[in-house]
Structure 1
Amino acid sequence: MSSIPEHLLEPLDFAASELKDMLSPRIEEDERLVQKGLLLFRQRLVSQIRFDGTNISGVVQDVMPARVLLDLDYINLSECSCPADGFCRHQLAVFFQLLSQATSVMDWAADWRKPLKESKAVQLLGLQTARDLLTSSSRQKPDYDRWVAAFHESFTAIMTRNGEPKPYTISELFHIYTRQWKANAPFEQEWKLLYHLIGYFFSFKYLMKLSTELGHSREIINRYYLHLFEDLIQDIVDATEKLSVHSLPFAFDEFIEKFKADSADILMGEFTLDFEQIQIYRLLWAKFFKKKAWCQEEVAKLRAIENKNFPISVGITHQHILLGDDEIALDQLSGTDKWLTPYFLYWLGLFTSHKEWKRMGPYVEEFIKKLREYIHIEDNHYANRSFTNMAIRAIQPYCTEAGRQDLYEKALFELLPYSFSEYEDILFENEDFARWTDLQAMLNYDIDMLPKSRIKVIEKAEPSLLLPLYHQSVQSHIAHKGRDHYRQAVRKLKKLRTLYKKLKRQDDWAFFLEALLEKTKRLRAFQEECKRGKLIDA
């Protein structure tokens, strides 16, 4: 029976898990830190434990007494009176003292070190496999079915030989598997390239299937082995480009037929990384399976599938684009499914590479229609900014070639606020000062944040456009209150007075100031700053 308050059991479990992520047994400094924390705990040097919600205080009698405050909700924000940076041995000692009242400290330490132990086992497996390759490597003769069987046998033997692999061991295991199947590649360069291309495809397929069977979320995949899928996509791009340099020998025909028939397998089933899943299929059909008759057969095959999932639907659209069936493809893309939006990027790149500007136009217009809804799906600034950059690069060649500056500006508007810098630049370059100032006001940017050189240009060309920005800044500073903000407000008011005078609208200025002073008559400090700034009589 634990002596820790029951309401702390769940936060403590969460903190224990967070600490396993914060500290790595592979890092020597972290290993020493845990050892020192365990030593202080075992020597019974932790005392005066106090509970305050999910905050735990304690004293550790080290060379000098250290006072610790653990925050179980945000363990990385915990504090200690010692001069150490980051999480220290005293915080760990208090954590272990607390953990010992609920569960086993030794179990936590053993579980923390487990990834290192398993990683070393994987490394030994890699050394053993490397020795096996040196002594027993047998080159695969050209035989598609034998190649695929060998890929599968090797993947199963290495990836799951000790049961379900842990997420943190998958990358190392996969590299061992890759070295093994590559070592068996044919000697002839052309056959070797084809062997690699097919190997990359099936490696992606097997890893995708394993991820699904293990129930790994996108977060787990992103953290531990997303790079494997990304590398396989790039490997397929490189292999197809190398193979496309020369005419393929007739001996490849049987292999290509079988590979083409298997390609749709990558679209089957639901997978967390559906974009990568679909990208493999699109790359193969755009770069390798190029014959029109093949595309016609494939689209018929995909359409015949009942209960089509999202990847299959995208695959059908892709085939129609390759066939030039733009009316059908655009009809499929014009639906309300916002998740289709990022898939446009590849197709727009395809049109650009072939300089098919006339075909590209309707796709660009459809793409722009979907941008605003898609960009606001998630509140992730960095991801949205990255997508914005890709979207701008995708449409820019067409807009330049076709002279469609209007479409380019529309896209920038739809992508706000993430396209702000590009949009404000183009408005200013076009001397569209009215929309430029409207943009600043819409995004609530204070006039002090804007380039002084641009403010001077607008003040000379159309000074009236600056009035709303100064008014907005005045209201913002007054709302924030405090002497500093009041002084800033008075400085902006004096600038407003100058602008109104320049525009010969002194009556408007007088009316505005009178209304403002009446509205703020209870703000004595602001009224005093107005007197000090000689906006009103003392």
Structure 2
Amino acid sequence: MIPERFLEPLEFAANELKGLLRAENEEDARLVQKGLMLFRQGLVYQLRFEDDKVLATVQDVTPAKVELNLEFIHLSECSCPAEGFCRHQTAVFLQLLSKARSVSMWIEEWRKPIKEKQTAKNWGLQRAKDLLKSSGQLKTGYDGWVAGFEESFTELLEKQGEPRPYVLPELFHVYLRRMKAGAPVEQEWKLLYLLIGYVFSFKKLMALSKKYGHGEELIDRYYRHLYQSLMEDSVEIMNKLSVHSLPFAFDQYIEKLKDDSAGLITGSFGLDYERAHLYRLLWTHFFKKKEWREAEIQKLESFIKEESPILPSVAGYVHLHILERNDEQALSVLNVPNHLMTPYMLYWIDYFSANKDWNRMGPYAEAFIHKLRDYLKQSDDYYACMDFTRMAIKAISPYCLECSKMDLYEKALMETLPYSYSDYEYLLFEKGEFIKWADLQAFIGFDIESLGKDRIREISKMEPSILLPLYHQAITAHINMKNRDHYREAVRKMKKLRTLYNKLKRQEDWQLFLELLLEKTKRLRAFQEECKRGKLIDA
């Protein structure tokens, strides 16, 4: 029997696992199948409850010790070498579940999304065929195209009521196939048709997400990739169209697209960067008339003046001012202390670089660098910070090189520490700024042994005194670990430190350091023994 206190956490874990292990993922499907086999073959034994955890052993090729955490199922542990949730943890979970309810029913519920996806796809394909048959002659003109998109979207994604989030990708791909089937034959018109279709679809998907209350977490799990694909496909189309002069016949289509794209950045919705990026690209490449931009700025001003304006609206407002070369107005917004605008600024830095507009870029580059530290502080994701730092340094490099602003480049490296360590370390060493280089090592806290023998060798020749604080820091760190291996390592570094002091003809300083250190560590008998063994002091 399961203790009553475990019943509710078990139900919670059962639901969590449906999201953690995805039936449509082949690897997850195989994992659950293997766990099911281990469970059904009776290879789970010694099931017991300790505190708030469930412990068991699974007899596989070698026995695996499993510890299930029902409150946080993804934090469960297994003695096997597999990463993440493994077949042994699955087997123990199923064994435990079997004591409370039907395992077969849970498996059926877990597989339900993939069945519903296939059913939805088959239904969608049939409806798409029906739409093609019933549509007769393809609709023409902007309004005809949009009416066709609207009809297909409603029919395929909402005809059966609220679509399940996990079936949305299947239905949406059917919708896109139907949309593309209605494209004009002529290449340029086909590209314009697809661009209008992608922008329309992006907005319709936003409206659907809002209508059914899909939060960002749910969108991330099931269909964020749809928004990203629409944005990427739109960028590809824009790049193709912008290579040539557009026919005059496109003008009325582009104007209507401008009017219809207005809602991309003004609504309260997630996916801030994606919709702001799509908006900026449209206004950069297609909506070029001065009167359009001025009118759009007027519209956005009311949103900017709100107490907490949403970031896409702010980004759109700044972008239009940049396009109109109203740099004073754009910078007045960007220079307000708000680090959340930092990632949006990458686009403008790249925009100026692409146009080699170095004179205008300067104030924007400085504003960008000024925000970097605060922006990186707000994230706990080390790898995301590393990626952003790489993009930031790459973005400002052309300007700094072209305009001989290496002081600004160095400032950017300082603002993005520790993520820019390798670039900053290389810069300082190449410039021969060894004091700054040593300060950087002390700040980062790397062991001197990890700095590279070639680096240590060259500094020993050029400015050996710079290495003294690094050795002192390393020796202290090893002694503080308070175990025999680290004591030996400390003694080894102390010998190198003694050599440095001798080279600098500062034997008295070495002797004073040694006496103070021995006094400070007189109760660390093992360390004192290692010093004697290393002949730093008399036996």
Q: Same fold (TM over 0.5)?
A: yes
Cα separation, 1, equivalents of 2:165 and 2:384: 24
**In the alignment, does 2:143 pair up with 1:145?**
yes
Q: Do the aligned residues in 1 keep the contact of 2:36 with 2:94 (CA within 8 Å)?
A: no
- Where does 1:425-464 land on structure 2 (aligned, <5 Å)? 425-464=426-465
What's the secondary structure of 1:206's corresponding residue?
Answer: helix
Q: TM-score, normalised by structure 1?
A: 0.91
- SS of the residue 1:232 aligns to: helix
Aligned pairs for 1:75-474 within 5 A: 75=73, 92=90, 94-129=92-127, 131-132=129-130, 138=136, 140-304=138-302, 307=306, 308-474=309-475
What do the CA deviations read for 1:418-440 (whole angstroms, capped 9, x no partner)? 11111111111111111111001
Aligned to 1:520: 521
Opposite residue 227 of structure 2, the aligned amino acid is: F
Q: Matches of 1:82 and 1:429 in 2, distance apart?
A: 47
Please give the alpha-carbon distance, in whole angstroms, between the structure 2 residues aligned to 1:255 and 1:532: 86
Deviates more, 1:16-25 or 1:202-211: 16-25
Give SS of 1:50's match.
Answer: strand
Deviation of 1:97 after TM superposition, in Å, equals: 4.3
Give the number of equivalent residue pairs. Answer: 533
Q: Following TM superposition, by how much is the alpha carbon of 1:449 offset from its aligned partner in structure 2, in angstroms?
A: 0.8
Q: 1:478 to 1:89 in 2, by over 3 A?
A: closer
Q: CA deviation at 1:50?
A: 2.6
Per-residue CA distance 1:215-268 (angstroms, 9 max, x = gap)? 333333333222222221121112122222332222222212211122221112
One-letter code aligned to 2:432: E
TM-score after normalising by structure 2: 0.91
Q: Deviations over 1:261-289 (max 9, x none)?
A: 22221112112111111111101001111
CA RMSD of aligned residues (A): 2.8
- 2:39/2:92 contact within 8 Å kept: no
Decide whether the 8 Å contact of 2:35 with 2:87 is kept in 1: yes
Letter matched to residue 199 of structure 2: F
Change (3 A) 1:479 1:65: closer
For structure 1, which runs of at least 5 residues remain unmatched after alignment?
Answer: none
Question: What letter corresponds to residue 395 of structure 1 in structure 2?
Answer: I
Q: What 5-or-longer segments of structure 2 have no aligned partner?
A: none
In structure 2, the CA distance between the partners of 1:64 and 1:403, relative to structure 1 (3 Å rule), is closer
Inter-partner Cα distance in structure 1 for 2:493 and 2:62: 55
Q: 1:92 to 1:254 in 2, by over 3 A?
A: closer
CA contact under 8 A between 2:32 and 2:90: conserved in structure 1?
Answer: no
Whole-Å separation in 1 of the counterparts to 2:538 and 2:64: 60
Aligned-partner Cα distance in 2 for 1:185–1:487: 75
SS in structure 1 at match of 2:185: coil
Secondary structure of the residue that 1:417 maps to in structure 2? coil
- State the secondary structure of the residue aligned to 2:261: helix
String of CA shifts for 1:324-373, please: whole Å, max 9, x gaps.
00011000110111110001100111111111000000000000000000
How big is the shift at 1:144?
1.5
> 1:79-102 CA deviation, whole Å, 9 max, x = no partner?
779999986777545433433454
Distance 1:321 1:217 in 2: 32
Contact 1:320 1:329 in 2 (8 A): yes
Shift of 1:129: 4.7
Preserved CA contact (<8 Å) 1:139 1:185 = no
User: C-alpha distance in 2, partners of 1:62/1:393?
Assistant: 50
**Separation in 1, partners of 2:467, 2:137:** 75
Equivalence for 1:488: 489
Question: Which residue does the alignment assign to 2:507?
Answer: 506
